[in-house]
């Protein structure tokens, strides 16, 4: 007999620190140390991310792309896949830990070992398209997890909520023709990567993009969720919610200007827990995407996972 589920499981791995970017690059290993400090006092269960099997990557990416990334990894120094997506000797292993972590997190939640989970991994994933690394991302971590829930665990409806300040063009690309996944994103526009207009709906009308203007703050964000995203989630009745948790909409972030506050991440996480409680037995797995001001990242991830833990009890 297994015991009652724990509230939250947090997956991470020291290998995710060995993805090293050049000095001054915003997606740096210190981000993960800030996240670890933010989570240090939370009474969560902690586990190491296993390495993803190749088959996990192949849920969303062609074998030729995985082989290309594998071949490109340098034995020393750096290789640039595009202007800002950099490989160091540890990058592939780090990315495989991030994907393996989210796979293990969804497995733990589906097995009833925990109500919800958070994956503190890097590099992030939501900009990686089918055969294109971009925007600091190699593999579409959250899209791969959605496919695992559908094709391995047999679920019928999975929602992905992406509150990173940048549009999750990769997640959208990987799931464009996937009617079983509602992909809902808020993001600043105009901003990198340039996609994410409301007209981009997916092959089955299952993609919901809600752009926010630079300089708007908490009220605009809460209205977007209250009036658009949360009603769509409620109508979709997801059996599981995945979150692309980027914290770069915080007002201190150097890459964007949406001016969200730490308390906004608590508010939003509570609302997503409400949807998960109503339709998905509370099941949520969240994974780290962006967030480049280290104190803001530390404080924001602490309230995000703090709410998950509190609501998972
Ligand atoms: Zn971002």
Q: Which portions of the chain are predicted below pLDDT 50? A: 1
- The answer to whether the CB of 85 falls within 8 A of the CB of 277 is no
Q: Which residues are catalytic?
A: 127
- Cβ neighbors of 152 (< 8 A, separation 6 or more) are none
| pLDDT on residue 97 | 98
Alpha-carbon torsion 242, 12, 87, 149, what sign?
A: negative
* Dist. CA 168 → ligand 1 center (Å): 8
* Dist. CA 89 → ligand 1 center (Å): 24
pLDDT tens digit string along 111-160?
Answer: 999 999 999 999 999 999 999 999 999 999 999 999 999 999 999 999 99
| pLDDT on residue 262 | 98
* Dist. CA 135 → ligand 1 center (Å): 8
- The answer to whether the CB of 305 falls within 8 A of the CB of 8 is yes
Which residues lie near ion ligand 1 (Cβ < 5 Å)?
A: 164, 166, 246, 248, 290
Instruction: Tell me which residue has tokens 């770069």.
Output: 248
* Dist. CA 126 → ligand 1 center (Å): 9
Instruction: Tell me which residue has tokens 């972030």.
Output: 253
* Dist. CA 248 → ligand 1 center (Å): 6
Helix (H, G, I), strand (E, B) or coil at 158: strand
| pLDDT on residue 1 | 45
């Amino acid at each position: 007999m297994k015991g009652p589920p724990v509230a939250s499981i947090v997956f991470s791995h020291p290998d995710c620190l060995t993805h090293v970017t050049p000095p001054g690059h915003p997606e740096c290993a210190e981000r993960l140390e800030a996240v670890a400090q933010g989570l240090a006092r939370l009474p969560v269960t902690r586990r190491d991310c296993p390495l993803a099997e190749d088959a996990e990557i192949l849920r969303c990416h062609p074998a030729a792309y995985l082989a290309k990334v594998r071949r490109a990894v340098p034995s020393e120094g750096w290789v640039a896949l595009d202007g800002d997506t950099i490989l160091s000797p540890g990058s592939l292993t780090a990315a495989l830990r991030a994907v393996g972590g989210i796979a293990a997190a969804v497995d733990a939640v589906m097995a009833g070992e925990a109500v919800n989970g958070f994956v503190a991994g890097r590099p992030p994933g939501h900009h990686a398209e089918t055969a294109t690394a971009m925007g600091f991302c190699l593999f579409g971590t959250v899209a791969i997890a959605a496919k695992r829930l559908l094709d391995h665990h047999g679920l019928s409806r999975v929602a992905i909520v992406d509150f990173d300040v940048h549009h999750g063009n990769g997640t959208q690309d990987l799931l464009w023709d996937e009617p079983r996944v509602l992909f809902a994103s808020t993001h600043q526009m105009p901003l990198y990567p340039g996609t994410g207009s409301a007209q981009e709906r997916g092959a089955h009308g299952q993609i919901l993009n809600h752009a926010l203007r630079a300089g708007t703050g908490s009220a605009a964000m809460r209205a977007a969720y209250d009036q658009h995203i949360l009603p769509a989630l409620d109508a979709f009745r997801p059996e599981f919610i995945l979150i692309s948790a980027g914290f770069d909409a915080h007002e201190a972030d150097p890459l964007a200007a949406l001016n969200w506050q730490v308390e906004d991440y608590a508010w939003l996480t509570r609302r997503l827990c409400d949807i998960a409680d109503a339709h998905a037995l509370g099941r949520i797995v969240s994974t780290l995407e962006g967030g480049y001001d280290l104190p803001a990242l530390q404080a924001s991830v602490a309230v995000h996972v703090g709410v998950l833990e509190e609501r998972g009890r």
